[in-house]
Amino acid sequence: MDTERIYYEDSFAREFSAEVLSCEPVAVETGDAAAAADAKSVATGAAKLWRVVLNRTVFYPTSGGQPHDVGKLGAANVVDVLDEEDDVVHVVDAAIALATVSGVVDWERRFDHMQQHSGQHVLSAVFHAQSALPTVSFHLGANLCTIDLRGREPTAEILERAAMAANEIVYEDRAVIVKYGTPEELAAAGVRKTVERSGKLRAIEIEGVELQPCGGTHVRRTGQIGMIALRGFSRIRQDWRVEFVCGKRAERLARVDLAMLKSIAQRLNCSVAETVSAAERVVAERDVYFKSARASNEKLAAVDAQSALQTTEIGVDGIRVIVRVFRGVSPEYVQSFAREVAKADKTVALIARSECGHVFFMQHANVGRDMNALLAETFGQVGGKGGGSRDSAGGRLADPQRAAEALQHAVSRLGQSEQTG
């Protein structure tokens, strides 16, 4: 017996009663051991989930891009709803007696799905009518919804025009009507999509906008969709993905956006209306300070490098090795310091920055060692990633706390290694 789908006729029905036709434990299909364990748990009545088929239901099963409903069947929670040919299968977390049961759907979730899904019909119809961009897929996500459009790239103007026209249809509060007919009858009535199924089909008409075969749940009038807001746009393979939200989601996001803007304005010490110009000013100032700081850093690094060269003894092999783990200075300073040191004859710089674990090994060419090999060997010992050339190599430690250890290791290897030429 087919499950009577109450939502086909009345998508606003939330409560119902029905006969329980079957209630079977869910079999686990992954591996013999799991199946055996499941068989055992079924035998002892310890199954976790059951599959329930009713003679009628208001629960919508996952299909056509719209997620399933959740809710209650008697005392059991409905955690999933599956569309299996003519049956709607309710996956519940407790066994249900084969008798009459009352059920209720989580209306908050269902109504949200109805707003998003109905909004998608409107948006897809508008893109098709205005710009000949058909919708090839629809996804109703937990936060955002998307449609993928096929054809030429929609410009910003096309997107804005579509959003405005879609919202016009909302304001016009057009009727959303369920229709039935054979594929031929629906095609004659103007259904765009070709349908492979035969027999009597269900279609949704948005008065004066479109007629589409669809088994989903919809609002009664377009006014119930609420605002349709486009949120993003990107290329997905050969198609164009448009992100959008409708109704309560759009309203919630508008509040989130404003809170975010207010928070930014507060940080910039300006009004919400002034955030763009204030942000531009802050970025311009930052760029000026950044340039000036970089120049100062380079000068400071050069002075510090000279001081380090003067206070570091030359080793027995005639090579001067300057080892430093810096903290509280910029990465640019560290690199400049290493570069400056390595300009001196017969000098090696083994430098790290402890905050982030950046490491620089540099030498004057006449030292004749291989900094890249030394870095690779050191990272092999203490962990890290990087590379470079014979005279200059750099990278990042896996654990910045091991900076001193890494440099000590490099110093000892340097003492042992032979000149490479």
According to DSSP, the residues that pair with 66 across neighbouring strands are 63
Cβ proximity to Zn ion: between 203 and 406 the closer is 203
Q: Which residue matches tokens 């434990």?
A: 25
Q: How far is the CB of 205 from Zn ion (least distance, A)?
A: 11
Query: What tokens appear for 389 in the block?
Result: 């050339």
Report residue 204 as tokens: 């949704």
How far CA 343 is from CA of 195, 274, 295, 329, 378, in Å, comes to 75, 49, 18, 21, 23
Which of the ranges 11-19, 102-110, 165-173, 203-211 carries the binding residues for Zn ion, by CB under 5 A?
203-211
Stretch that binds Zn ion, among 44-52, 67-75, 210-218, 368-376 (CB under 5 A): 210-218
Alpha helices in 274-399 (DSSP H): 275-311, 331-341, 371-382
73 touches Zn ion by CB under 5 A: no
Find the Cα–Cα–Cα–Cα dihedral 227, 232, 233, 237, rounded to 10°.
-110
Give the residue from 415, 405, 360 showing the smallest Cα distance to 382.
405
Restricted to residues 276-315, the positions that interact with Zn ion (CB under 5 A) are none
CA distances from 367 to 7, 256, 323, 359 (A): 81, 60, 16, 19
In Å, what is the CA distance from 351 to each residue of 237, 359, 368? Answer: 45, 6, 18
CB closer to Zn ion, 13 vs 270: 13
Residue nearer to Zn ion on the CB measure, 64 or 331: 64
Q: Which is nearer to Zn ion, 120 or 336 (CB)?
A: 120
Q: How far apart are CA 169 and CA 209, in angstroms?
A: 8
x-marked contacts with Zn ion along 154-193 as a string, rule CB under 5 A: ----------------------------------------
- Identity of the residue, 135 or 372, whose beta carbon is nearer to Zn ion in the bound complex: 135
Of 83-91, 150-158, 214-222, 242-250, which segment contacts Zn ion by CB under 5 A? 214-222
Task: Answer yes or no whether residue 206 interacts with Zn ion by CB under 5 A.
Answer: no
Backbone angles phi, psi at 364, to 5 degrees: -70, 140
| Closer residue to Zn ion in complex, CB, 88/176 | 176
* Two tokens, residue 273: 């209306």
Judged by CB under 5 A, the stretch of 133-141, 207-215, 223-231, 302-310 that binds Zn ion is 207-215
Candidate list 216, 226, 247, 394; residue touching Zn ion; CB under 5 A:
216
Which DSSP symbol is given to 63?
A: B
CA end-to-end span of the chain: 87
Beta strand 4-5 with 56-57 is: parallel
Q: Which of 126, 214, 325, 359 binds Zn ion (CB under 5 A)?
A: 214
Q: Which stretch binds Zn ion (CB under 5 A): 87-95, 200-208, 308-316, 369-377?
A: 200-208
Q: Tell me if 367 contacts Zn ion by CB under 5 A.
A: no
Nearest residue to Zn ion on Cβ basis: 214
Residues near Zn ion (CB under 5 A), total: 3
- Which residues in this chain contact Zn ion in the complex, by CB under 5 A? 204, 214, 216
